Amino acid sequence: MAAATPEIVERAQSPRETRLRLLLTRAGYDLESDVEVQLPRCPLYRVDLALRGRKIAFEYQGEHHADLEQYRADQTRLSRLRAHGWLVMEINARDLDDPVELLARIARAIAAHPH
Domain positions in the chain are 24-109
User: Average model confidence (pLDDT) for the chain?
Assistant: 89
| pLDDT at residue 64 is higher than 50 | yes
Half-sphere CA count of 98, side-chain side, radius 13 A = 7
User: CA-CA distance, 44 to 8, in Å (whole number)?
Assistant: 25
Exposure of 13 by Cβ count < 10 A (0-12 exposed, 13-18 middle, 19+ buried)? middle
Sign of CA dihedral 78, 79, 82, 83: negative
Q: How confident is the model at residue 115 (pLDDT cuts 50, 70, 90)?
A: confident
| pLDDT at residue 4 is higher than 60 | no
Q: What is the pLDDT of residues 23-55, one digit of tens each?
A: 999 999 999 999 999 999 999 999 999 999 999
Residue 10, pLDDT score? 52
% of the chain surpassing 90 pLDDT: 78
User: CA-CA distance, 79 to 102, in Å (whole number)?
Assistant: 22
What lies within 8 Å, CB to CB, of 13 at 6+ separation is: 34, 48, 60, 62
Q: For domain 24-109, give its CATH number from 3.30.710.10, 3.90.550.10, 3.40.960.10, 3.40.605.10.
A: 3.40.960.10
* Cβ pair 81, 113 in contact under 8 A: no
Q: How confident is the model at residue 2 (pLDDT cuts 50, 70, 90)?
A: very low
